[in-house]
Structure 1
Amino acid sequence: MDIVDAHCHIISADTARYPQAPIGGKQSAWAATRPVTAEGMIARMDQTGISQAVLVQATTHYGYDNSYVLDTTRAHPDRFAAVGTVDPLRDDAATLLKTATGQGRLAGVRLFTSGSTVPTQGEWFAAPETFPFWEQAGELRIPVCLQMRLGPATHHLVELLERFPHVTVLLDHIGYPDITTSPATAGQDVAALGVHPGLHLKLTHRNLEQLHNAGDQATDFLTPVIKAFGADRIAWGSNLPAAEQSLPQLRTLAEETLAELPERDREQIFAGTARRLYPALAASAA
């Protein structure tokens, strides 16, 4: 099967050229204990049979310095697309976004509003100060990866999607829905967001592990979500090396969990969606 990894991270061994600058000053544990370089990522992809990948800025290691993902993508344009981190609260955020994206530059951007080093869900991503950024993202047709947790802040996401319906938003890890407690309830909550055409889902090990453990009940989550979004708005990402498993193990987890889906749906989730979101990958594959 043709596979594009829509969410992985790289960290250089050259700390002089690419120094640490994590957002909030706190480095994530995985970045310190199991970093993977660009060369290491290519080797793992070749071993696993993954043709292309989207390099998502390691925000908890490099912060807003996107140099490493950009340099890597320029060196290997046939294998990678780069997603960098920007600060949408800056007065010049819209201008910065336009400058940072385009041919040979960032193919997308990421807003890190919650995660292992930021346990409290931020609401700043929907502040009025960010509206010029969102407007520019829509005009440029630049995908915005949003790392957030569904819950109290979900209404802010909905407000953004309604205000900027032409913006493409990728919800990292599907917003961490609580599949373990109730696959059906989690599926209904996520499916309700499918009415917003610009919203896409990034399916990673953080969801797939829970779905795998749910056994037959995994369909209680997958069925309504795929019906609401369609497979062409869902992309698989390994989250390597934030995920502790090896890349072959992460591919196997995804394939086994999604094995009952129709072949076309699996083709979209594993490659088609990512290539539509990041046309440079499609051009290179062709």
Structure 2
Amino acid sequence: MTVVDIHPHIVSRDTARYPMSPIGGKRSDWSHDRSIELDTLIESMDAAGVDKAAVVHSSTTYGFNCDYVADAVSQHPDRLTGVFSVNVLEPDAPAAMRHWYERGLTGMRIFARGSTLKEAWLSIADPRVFPCYELASELGIPVATNATVKMLDQIETVVTSFPKVPFVIDHLGRSDFSDGAPYENAAPILSLARFPNLYLKVTTNNFRESRDGKSDPLTLFPKLVSAFGADRMAWGSNYPASQGTLKDMVDLANDCLAGVSQADRDWIMGGTALKLYRALAGEAVSA
């Protein structure tokens, strides 16, 4: 089994070369307290048995300047690709997308909200963003977003309007599974299973929360696999934003996925990622 992480972050100590410019003007706490550099990520991947990764640009550290991730990918093109962010509301957003794509970043993320932005600063269904989706379709790259199930109407609008774009919902859309089986509270996220271009990113936070309340990973993840198919679910560590070692996060994921078949686990822990990020599968990509 090839293990692929589609949600680690890196932050450089070299603030002269990579100046801080966090989105919203406030740097995230994790990037202060437990950020890691490229070398530590590679060492952690080796220790955890993680073969490859799609490194997600830290918007709460660098805003829309993705130089550090791009430089990291250039040093390890056999193991890494990158997920860039651009200001999708600006007219030059497609040009910025091409710039980062040409530097080896083969996925995009729309950071709509987060630890330093409690309220969404944009609608992912804003028509001003549509040229970005059109280019993503042309380039054949996935678009990840941390939009939540509270933005369900926006998610449905973009996945139906751009059916050739693989959309990846971070952190299971912050869904509530605490009511337990049959997980009626999860109706919003489960309703998205009808869109074949909608993918779920299952992160460390989701695995930890899968034991909250009446939730049980042995019933929750089979439910999600039954709805979406394991080939539309992909693991992301959120390391080091989530506390703990990368190895602990891999072990946690495998433990929580004990209720699904080995074939399904193979998809979630790596196979789906290789489908989404073609560069990690060894496919040549070009602008």
TM-score bin (small chain): over 0.9
Q: Secondary structure at the match of 1:107?
A: strand
Structure 1 segments unaligned to the other structure (5+ residues): none
Residues 180 and 213, structure 2, Cα contact 8 Å, conserved in 1: no
Aligned to 1:167: 165
1:225: Cα distance to partner? Answer: 1.9
TM-score normalized by the length of structure 1:
0.93
Q: Which amino acid aligns with 1:154?
A: L
Aligned to 2:25: 25
Aligned to 1:121: 120
Aligned to 2:253: 254
Change (3 A) 1:216 1:169: closer
TM-score normalized by the length of structure 2:
0.93
1:16: Cα distance to partner? Answer: 0.7
1:156 aligned onto 2:151 = no
Partners of 2:213 and 2:172 lie apart in 1 by: 17
> What fraction of aligned residue pairs are identical, expressed as a percent?
37
Residues 166 and 199, structure 2, Cα contact 8 Å, conserved in 1: yes
Partners of 2:231 and 2:82 lie apart in 1 by: 21
Residues 66 and 84, structure 2, Cα contact 8 Å, conserved in 1: yes
Partners of 2:63 and 2:16 lie apart in 1 by: 16
Report how many aligned residue pairs link the two structures: 282
For residues 74-102 of structure 1, what are the alpha-carbon distances to aligned partners after superposition, in whole Å with 9 as ceiling and x for unaligned?
Answer: 01111111111111111122233233314
Q: Secondary structure at the match of 2:138?
A: helix
Residues 176 and 206, structure 1, Cα contact 8 Å, conserved in 2: no
Aligned to 1:51: 51
1:179 aligned onto 2:181 = no
Aligned to 2:244: 245
Partners of 2:164 and 2:64 lie apart in 1 by: 25
1:226: Cα distance to partner? Answer: 1.2
Q: More deviation in 17-26 or 121-130?
A: 121-130
RMSD of the TM alignment (CA)? 1.7
Q: Secondary structure at the match of 1:91?
A: coil
Structure 2 segments unaligned to the other structure (5+ residues): none
1:273: Cα distance to partner? Answer: 0.6
Residues 180 and 214, structure 2, Cα contact 8 Å, conserved in 1: no
1:181: Cα distance to partner? Answer: 4.2
Q: Which amino acid aligns with 2:226?
A: K
Q: Which amino acid aligns with 1:162?
A: T
Partners of 2:105 and 2:118 lie apart in 1 by: 27
Aligned to 2:89: 89
Residues 52 and 280, structure 2, Cα contact 8 Å, conserved in 1: yes
1:123: Cα distance to partner? Answer: 4.0
